[in-house]
A and B are shown apart, each in its own frame.
Chain A
Amino acid sequence: MNNTFQLDGEEIPFTPGQTIMQAATAHGSYIPHLCWHPDFSVHGSCKLCTVKVNGRFGSSCTMEAQPGMEVENRTAELDDKRRTLLQMLFVEGNHFCPSCEKSGDCKLQATAYELKMMSPHFDMFYPDRPVDASHPDILLDFNRCIMCGLCVAASREADGKNIFAMGGRGLLGRRVHVSSESGKLADTDFAATDRAASICPVGVILSKRRGFVVPIGRRTYDLAPISAQVTEKAP
């Protein structure tokens, strides 16, 4: 049998060992996702990339492609589940798009537009989350954190620094720890040139003094929807 599988009826080639997500991305097909990044090891936490394989649900970022698989992706059922997951992510944090520097470049926002999420649906949790402005070049605003773990992976795998780690438990406990006794980024050797400084899919890790360098309306996902920008060299 050929090394291909069906993604919503479209034939997708893969090399053995590739996940469904890797193969789809290489082919230019969009499977919604937030915590997956082509350059880093798989986290598998956001569950936006949940697909249905031969009738069973699974994460496309962790599931290896197999010849002849029939994968459902952008079906009404799955997009409905994804919309609910997005709503969950919006209400568990404090997301105010109009005042967020990341607006237009934010994957959470772009995915919500893609999936036509019209309201947060659930009651907001309004958690009490800290802002860390201690670092001279970088601002951390954990209000927007979606627990994707990409900063942890980038700092460990690309920067070799281990500045961040996921900790805590449950909805209110789960958080990103900064590796210093004070918990402040200024007390680590984090640098604005670190890969981790530019990896955040939402607006937690921001460079200081760079507000509105690109005006609203000309940002990444203002120009084209996220589904039309599938590339293995994700930003």
Chain B
Amino acid sequence: MSDTDMIDAVLDRHHHDGTRLMQILRETQEQLGWLSPATLTHIAKAIAWPRAQVEGTADFYSFFHTRPLGRYRVLWSDNITDRMLGNTDLLEAMCKKLWLEPGRVSEDGLVSVDVTSCTGMCDQGPAVLVNCRAITRMTPARVGEMVGLIRSETPLAEWPAEWFAVDDNIRRKDILLAHDLVPGQALAAALERGAEKMLAEIKAARLRGRGGAGFATGLKWEACRSAAGHGAGAAHYVVCNADEGEPGTFKDRVLLTSYAGLVFEGMSIAGLVVGAKKGLLYLRGEYRYLLEPLESALAVRRDAKLLGKNILGTDFEFDIEIHLGAGAYICGEESALIESLEGKPGRPRIRPPFPVTHGYLDQPTTVNNVETLAASCLIAAHGSDWYAQHGTEKSTGSKILSVSGDCERPGIYEYPYGVAVRQVLEDCGASDCQAVQISGPSGMCAAEAEFDRKIAFEDIPTAGAFMVFDETRDMFEVARNFAHFFAHESCGFCTPCRVGTTLVRNLMDKIARNHGSPYDIDELFKLHRLMQGASHCGLGNTACNPIFDTLNKFRPAYEHRLMSLDYEPAFDLDAALSQARQMTGRDDAAAHLKNGAEA
């Protein structure tokens, strides 16, 4: 088959539909290795889109290649947890063996080696992606073997199967992971109740979004349900956000590996409530290996009359489609995710309007986290009273944490909301713990003094990441890793985030080189204040959080690198926290830097 025939087959499969551009580009690249200018022209014509727009999508995503990057493309996950497991030395060793510079393609066009953002394998790193397939637990020996397989051009299908093994590592189960529901049980209960009563049940259970922001799920579903569809394509949509990109988070990977039925059932319940016939699961490109198992799981559910028309003998109709992302953290933001679902670069939309009224294809859309949807099954099956007994008053139910870093037992831990940080540290076997980064780089860095705080929306909200750092770790290097992450993942749309994240990264690198001064610390604060207020979306707004947090709590880690300290910064850190004190209603000694966290 010629290249053109091959592309045409892909295009036919997707009905020449431009909104399916992401899938068209991915499938084309899987066969051709890269997306050449001629390929993009051909695709643009076929879907009747301006060529520049197709190119704009193709070069937005890290995993689409608009230049050849070799027949083997090795990407090392570069989260701080991979770093702590020694990925830097392994990458260097691999490059040495291959006579390569990172980021460059070998002269013979065989191979390239580079880094990528966290691939969600923090509990079994160092991890790599080879031609977008996940490989875990890299060792010096594996590096040697892999170089041999690449040199001999052995197809990936013939590589040792155990390299591709991804473990669940479930260490603690609570109501969700220990559920005893059979397929269809929750959905049958929801159908029995009907859409309105099911919605009332979700609201009564006080279910809140597990993606980090904690928006009330019932309110979101209600807003979507009561919004009217627009125009000829009037419809409602359910979108499951499985773009689990926050470094250190991997709980959705486990849910989609071993609890996919529950997730699909939750999507169906959401569909029933909001009046949708179609659900879309947006799976991050790093989890490409889950596509076929998930498709099979969908097929099983269709056979069991749990998807499709006349579900469980009723007139309820609902089906689910899986869309793969292609390496862009920003697509975890719900409006950017919707743009991506429509074949466009993942650029957060101007809001309002919100997706619940104008979402996918401009239609009312509810976007929910994987874990939120799974949890809705428990409410459907057991009722809101039962559900609300778990957790705390303001945070009902349970939360799955992805624990990684310096601990004996990294993996998945599910707790009722309200668990103390210290409890989690004890359970995972973390000794000499210096700090925990909770909810990833955009979350918060908890120091020893905060270990009695609780995982809950009213105290420490989290999307699930729980990265542990012991006393030997340099918290400055942790923050610097996160600064690099945000600079790499900024979509580039708005000025403060596009330029600011790179300026922050450069300042952190400058300090790392022992060329910093107190002036540079002031500059970091200045950029933080600008980006927090002026950025277009949450990425820019939170990008300086890890720096702000570590500067407040681990300032010596920065200061011992500075050239001189003989200059008193004009910026008053304690005064800057006055607003935070006001918001939390605190003015006690511990809420002030001099007496509190810094001591």
Is A bound to B? yes
Binds B, one of A1-9, A162-170, A220-228: A162-170
Which partner residue on chain B sits nearest A165 by CB separation?
B52
Q: Is B55 an interface residue (CB 8 A)?
A: yes
Contact B535 A177 (CB under 8 A): no
Q: Is B60 an interface residue (CB 8 A)?
A: yes
Given contacts A57-B533, A81-B530, A81-B534, contact A170 B50 (CB under 8 A): no
Q: How far is the CA of A91 from the CA of B41 in the complex (A)?
A: 34
Which partner residue on chain B sits nearest A166 by CB separation?
B56
In the complex, per-residue mask of B524-561: 1 if CB is within 8 Å of any chain A CB, else 0: 00110110011110000000000000000000000000
Contact A45 B487 (CB under 8 A): no
Q: Is B51 an interface residue (CB 8 A)?
A: yes
B59 is contacted by which of A84, A91, A173 (Cβ under 8 Å)? A173
Given contacts A163-B52, A167-B345, A170-B488, contact A85 B328 (CB under 8 A): no
Q: How far is the CA of A147 from the CA of B497 in the complex (A)?
A: 13
Q: Is B57 an interface residue (CB 8 A)?
A: yes
Q: Which residues, 39 to 65 on A, are CB-close (under 8 Å) to B?
A: 42, 44-48, 50, 57, 59, 62
Which partner residue on chain A sits nearest B53 by CB separation?
A165
Contact A147 B50 (CB under 8 A): no
What's the minimum C-beta distance from B44 to chain A, rounded to whole angstroms? 8
Q: Which residues, 48 to 86 on B, are CB-close (under 8 Å) to A?
A: 50-53, 55-62
What's the minimum C-beta distance from A19 to chain B, rounded to whole angstroms? 11
* Residues on A with beta carbons closer than 8 Å to the beta carbon of B503: 88, 122
In the complex, per-residue mask of B475-498: 1 if CB is within 8 Å of any chain A CB, else 0: 000000000000111111111101
Q: How far is the CA of A164 from the CA of B62 in the complex (A)?
A: 22
In the complex, per-residue mask of A88-99: 1 if CB is within 8 Å of any chain B CB, else 0: 110110000000
Contact A45 B495 (CB under 8 A): yes
Given contacts A165-B52, A179-B51, contact A85 B59 (CB under 8 A): no
Contact B496 A88 (CB under 8 A): yes
What's the minimum C-beta distance from B477 to chain A, rounded to whole angstroms? 22
Contact B493 A45 (CB under 8 A): yes
* Residues on A with beta carbons closer than 8 Å to the beta carbon of B56: 165-168, 177
What's the minimum C-beta distance from A74 to chain B, rounded to whole angstroms? 16
* Residues on B with beta carbons closer than 8 Å to the beta carbon of A183: 37
* Residues on A with beta carbons closer than 8 Å to the beta carbon of B527: 84
Q: Is B350 an interface residue (CB 8 A)?
A: yes
Q: Which residue among B53, B487, B498, B535 has the maximum number of chain A CB atoms within 10 Å of its CB?
A: B498
Q: Is A128 an interface residue (CB 8 A)?
A: no
Q: Is A178 an interface residue (CB 8 A)?
A: yes
Contact B345 A181 (CB under 8 A): no
Contact B498 A85 (CB under 8 A): no
Contact A168 B59 (CB under 8 A): yes
B496 is contacted by which of A47, A62, A122, A179 (Cβ under 8 Å)? A47
What's the minimum C-beta distance from B318 to chain A, rounded to whole angstroms? 34
* Residues on B with beta carbons closer than 8 Å to the beta carbon of A171: 487, 490, 492, 498-499, 501-502
Q: Is B500 an interface residue (CB 8 A)?
A: yes
B499 is contacted by which of A44, A88, A163, A181 (Cβ under 8 Å)? A88
What's the minimum C-beta distance from B434 to chain A, rounded to whole angstroms? 31
* Residues on B with beta carbons closer than 8 Å to the beta carbon of A45: 493-495, 536
Given contacts A84-B526, A168-B60, contact A162 B50 (CB under 8 A): yes
Contact A62 B350 (CB under 8 A): yes
Q: Is B392 an interface residue (CB 8 A)?
A: no
Interface size (A, Cβ < 8 Å)? 41
Q: Which residue among A48, A62, A84, A147 has the maximum number of chain B CB atoms within 10 Å of its CB?
A: A84
Contact B491 A164 (CB under 8 A): no
Q: Which residue among A91, A123, A177 has the maximum number of chain B CB atoms within 10 Å of its CB?
A: A177
What's the minimum C-beta distance from A125 to chain B, rounded to whole angstroms? 8
Q: Is A174 an interface residue (CB 8 A)?
A: yes
Interface size (B, Cβ < 8 Å)? 44
Contact A162 B38 (CB under 8 A): no
* Residues on B with beta carbons closer than 8 Å to the beta carbon of A164: 52
A88 is contacted by which of B55, B350, B500 (Cβ under 8 Å)? B500
What's the minimum C-beta distance from A31 to chain B, rounded to whole angstroms? 14
Contact B487 A170 (CB under 8 A): yes
* Residues on A with beta carbons closer than 8 Å to the beta carbon of B489: 170
Contact B492 A170 (CB under 8 A): yes
What's the minimum C-beta distance from B170 to chain A, rounded to whole angstroms? 35
Q: How far is the CA of A177 from the CA of B533 in the complex (A)?
A: 30
Q: Is B506 an interface residue (CB 8 A)?
A: yes
B495 is contacted by which of A88, A123, A170, A173 (Cβ under 8 Å)? A88
Q: How far is the CA of A59 from the CA of B491 in the complex (A)?
A: 18
* Residues on B with beta carbons closer than 8 Å to the beta carbon of A91: 499
* Residues on B with beta carbons closer than 8 Å to the beta carbon of A15: none
Q: Is A180 an interface residue (CB 8 A)?
A: yes
Contact B534 A85 (CB under 8 A): yes
Q: How far is the CA of A59 from the CA of B328 in the complex (A)?
A: 25
Given contacts A45-B495, A164-B52, A177-B56, contact A170 B533 (CB under 8 A): no
Given contacts A89-B499, A169-B328, A169-B492, contact A50 B52 (CB under 8 A): no
* Residues on A with beta carbons closer than 8 Å to the beta carbon of B61: 169
* Residues on B with beta carbons closer than 8 Å to the beta carbon of A162: 50, 52-53
* Residues on A with beta carbons closer than 8 Å to the beta carbon of B530: 81, 84-85
Q: How far is the CA of A122 from the CA of B520 in the complex (A)?
A: 11
In the complex, per-residue mask of B140-179: 1 if CB is within 8 Å of any chain A CB, else 0: 0000000000000000000000000000000000000000
* Residues on B with beta carbons closer than 8 Å to the beta carbon of A178: 52
* Residues on B with beta carbons closer than 8 Å to the beta carbon of A122: 503
Q: Which residue among A59, A88, A167 has the maximum number of chain B CB atoms within 10 Å of its CB?
A: A167
Q: How far is the CA of A132 from the CA of B77 in the complex (A)?
A: 37
* Residues on B with beta carbons closer than 8 Å to the beta carbon of A89: 495, 499
Q: Which residues, 439 to 495 on B, are CB-close (under 8 Å) to A?
A: 487-495
5 contacts between A and B (CB under 8 A): A89-B499, A162-B53, A171-B498, A179-B51, A181-B38
**6 nearest CB pairs, A to B:** A167-B56, A174-B492, A165-B52, A162-B50, A57-B533, A88-B499
Q: A123-B506, A147-B498, A165-B53 are in contact. List 11 more A-B contacts (CB 8 A).
A: A50-B533, A57-B533, A84-B530, A122-B503, A167-B59, A168-B492, A169-B61, A171-B490, A174-B493, A178-B52, A179-B53
